[in-house]
Chains A and B, each alone.
Chain A
Amino acid sequence: MSAPVLSQTGDMAVEAREIQVPSPRELARRRARRHIGLILGGAVVAFAVFVALLAPYLAPFDPYDQDLTQRLIGPVWQDGGSWVHPLGTDGFGRDYLSRLIYGARISLLIGFSAALIAGLLGSTLGIVGGYFGGTVDAAVVYLINVKLALPVVLVALSLAAIVGGSISSLILIMGFLTWDRYAVVTRSVTQQLRSREFVLSAQAAGASHGWILVREILPNVMNHIIVVASLEIAIIILIEAALSFLGLGVRPPTPSWGLMVAEGRSFLFFKPYLVVIPGIAIFLLVIAINMAGDGLRDVMSPEGRE
């Protein structure tokens, strides 16, 4: 294809060069490069993931190692602090920086795993309901409504109290309590896609329902699922911290940020850094994930948002 051709024959005219339209992916990439919230949030999340993955190499001490001779040493910027324990030590003499680093693992593990379970569950329900409609859809809508009527924290609290707060049970509880938004979003998107002609056209080409759901619908819904997931992860991390703080989440001595806040509570007046440091960590991670998720939505589906 070279310069535009003006020609009588139809085929030449068709082959004449078209205006170069950037692909949706390329457009998204361009918008992403200019989106400060996405860049900042993404950087913080990436840093947290990096720290969590390399925790054994980055942490100066074993987070479980107690040393009662080194109790309650302040962080470097306070009197008595030293670079041996940059963030000080807690009531059992454990290195606070190491616990913070290992705590990132717990928060991210629970956040991502629970979001994965919820995403699978909610998206399946939403896509199936939106695609088949009728009774199937009515059943899905019923399930969504039931779920929406459940107070998440309260139910999570009582379930954690019943089955005990291991990490895997927390993941399962959260996974089964936060699938509703995926279902609502994928259902409405699927309903729109379903009436597009490429679905009918795939059917006319002999595709089965299962094939259409997985190969035609799912790739078109994926963007939306990712955006919902990024926002849900932040919520799950917050709930995990709340449960751990209330003593119904992760069990001590596992270093969870919520648990660290709870343990620091008894020293709140004299050693406030014990509460403030993990509190800041939770705050930063959650706001970063929210910014990144919000940015993803702006970048991927900017329609109707200013």
Chain B
Amino acid sequence: MATLLHVDDLSVDIETPVGPLHAVSKVCVRGSSGETLCRVGESGCGKTMTALALMRLLPRRAAVRAGAITFEGRDLLTLSDADMAALRGDRLGMIFQDPMTSLNPVFTIGDQLEEVYRRHRAAGHREARERAEYLLQRIGIMSPALRLSQYPHELSGGLRQRMMIAMALMCGPSLIIADEPTTALDVTVQVQILRLLVELQREFRMALILITHNLGVVARVADQVAVMYGGTIVEAGRAADVFARPTHPYTRALLACVPVPGRTKQHGRLGSIPGIVPSLIGDVRSCAFRNRCDHAQPACAGEITVHEPAPGHAVRCLLAATSEVVR
């Protein structure tokens, strides 16, 4: 399968009065059409920063460096601003976390959906409206015409997020980045939205980058998983491998925090990770997790290399160097 998106050694540094903050360091992404990539991690670990850097939507204050960012064979690092804007919304779609604020309150849903299509396709109002109605039908909205004439405040959170998905799909993009698309929604609606996203992704053969902190979500839909911590990917690989043999202590700690029906004992304690996310200012070559890790050793303060316990399963941890997986 041809590689659709190829990101090498992406770093984002933000200048602060006390020194550069390494929001993202040396992150690699590889995605093909029809694949779902999940990035997991707690708040502030650089998930969203990675996505915004890909879209080139970071403020100028943030310095983005990368070995390569290619998308559909085009180098996004050297693309002009106008060409990049033409790509956004057309080939690259993005869905944001909060559907309450992602829609402009003074325009109808229809206006906002059509706008995207008309900008990129030079299409007329009628054609764009037809496309919008077709898409709403596709995502299971019962009365598309009515929905298109409504204002954002008239819709529920779940419906609004569906509209955001429809908006991202208007031009038939080949890659969709969904940044915690279900975080602001009810649990019951979360499942629906997620199922919808994955169905659409399969049907339109898009690549999907799903950013989330919900491991249950990941296990259900991911082809590839990357666990991020402190701006770096600490463990990455095929979802099956990562969930079957979680190797990095952070991944294992995260998995211990998820209650599993049937397996988690009724009055047993759920796992928690002591400590807080470290500051990302200063040196980041050492292991960022070492202050919270049960297996920390003095060597963790040095530079950590990436090990592969299995082909395609990469772990940034000293423990993975010993081929035997610590249980």
**A interface vs B, CB < 8 Å?**
1, 10-11, 13-15, 18, 21, 23-24, 196-198, 200-208, 215-216, 219-220
Contact = CB atoms under 8 A, between A and B. Distances in A.
B96 A197 contact: yes
Contact of B105 (A202, A208, A220): A220
Given A11-B142, A18-B154, A21-B154, A204 B106 contact: no
Q: Which of B119, B164, B195 has the most CB of A within 10 A?
A: B119
21 contacts: A1-B142, A1-B143, A1-B146, A10-B191, A10-B192, A11-B140, A14-B140, A14-B162, A23-B151, A23-B154, A24-B105, A198-B105, A201-B164, A202-B104, A203-B88, A204-B93, A205-B89, A206-B86, A206-B87, A206-B90, A207-B119
B116 A206 contact: yes
Q: Which of B104, B140, B142, B156 has the most CB of A within 10 A?
A: B104
B295 to A, nearest CB: 39
B107 A24 contact: no
Contact of A206 (B96, B119, B141): B119
B219 interface: no
A interface majority secondary structure: helix
Contact of A219 (B57, B98, B106, B120): B106
Given A18-B156, A23-B151, A23-B154, A203 B57 contact: yes
A204 B57 contact: yes
B30 to A, nearest CB: 22
B272 interface: no
Chain B interface residue count: which class?
Answer: 35 or more
Contacts of B92: 204
A201 B105 contact: no
Given A14-B156, A207-B119, A201 B106 contact: no
A197 B168 CA distance: 14
Nearest to B104: A198
B153 A24 contact: yes
B234 interface: no
A184 to B, nearest CB: 22
Nearest to B143: A1
B102 interface: yes
Q: Which of A1, A11, A18 has the most CB of B within 10 A?
A: A11
A220 B106 contact: yes
B142 A204 contact: no
A14 B190 CA distance: 12
B97 interface: yes
Contacts of B93: 204
Interface in B82-135: 85-90, 92-94, 96-98, 101-107, 115-116, 119-120
A201 B102 contact: yes
Given A18-B154, A216-B104, A200 B96 contact: yes
A138 to B, nearest CB: 15
